[in-house]
Amino acid sequence: MIKNFFKDSIVFIILISLQILIFNNIQFSGLINPYIYILFIILLPFELAGGLLLLLAFFTGLTMDLFMNTPGVHVMACLVAAFFRPRILDALSPRDGYETGSKPRIHYYGMLWFLKYAFLIITIHHIVLFYTEIFRWSDFFITLFRALLSSVFTLIIIIISQYFVFRR
């Protein structure tokens, strides 16, 4: 338990640092903004209690909001993504359920499963993030387009990280 907490804390610090120092400076035509810090919520263990999951999501969003000076935007997106995470996991659950002690990674459940799972979480997060950020309906389609493009770009970065960083 302590070992997992230590590892998860290191992953949290690394992802937040990468987001702030590198990925916040990446923008393609103002349409694509990768937010890889959502990987922290995606990779949390299956057995994590709902209250603790929401608390960690709140803390993740709050940390991003403090560094990016966006009061509540990232908190809202992380909380909504964390709220839907157990439902998405239930919907994508293998017939025999998830193995005890396994984590939601490509290496455990395969590429197709991980693509579905991560894309749903990322898309929910990005849609809530971009619409909360803009907070108007007049730019509905361009905001949806931005959210989907950013989701795909973020997913590509996360898939690459699964093969090079987050091995078994």
The pTM (predicted TM-score) of the whole model is: 0.92
H or E element at residue 3:
helix 2-21
The Cα–Cα gap between 144 and 159 comes to 22
- CATH of 2-164 among 4.10.280, 2.60.290, 3.30.70, 1.10.1760: 1.10.1760
Q: Which pLDDT score, from 0 to 100, does residue 3 have?
A: 65
Query: Which positions ≥6 away from 56 have C-beta within 8 Å?
Result: 40, 41, 44, 48, 82
Q: Which pLDDT score, from 0 to 100, does residue 166 have?
A: 63
Domain boundary assignment for the chain:
2-164
Q: Which pLDDT score, from 0 to 100, does residue 51 have?
A: 93
Q: Which pLDDT score, from 0 to 100, does residue 97 have?
A: 81
Residues of the chain with pLDDT below 70 are: 1-3, 166-168
Q: Which pLDDT score, from 0 to 100, does residue 2 have?
A: 57
Is residue 130 packed enough to be buried (19+ CB in 10 Å), middle (13-18) or exposed (0-12)?
Answer: buried
Residue 32 pairs in a beta bridge with: 28
pLDDT per residue over 84-120, tens digit each?
999 999 999 888 888 877 788 888 888 999 999 999 9
The Cα–Cα gap between 12 and 130 comes to 22
Q: Which pLDDT score, from 0 to 100, does residue 1 have?
A: 53
Q: Which pLDDT score, from 0 to 100, does residue 101 have?
A: 74
Q: Which pLDDT score, from 0 to 100, does residue 107 have?
A: 85
* Cβ(11)–Cβ(40) below 8 Å: yes
Helix (H, G, I), strand (E, B) or coil at 28: strand
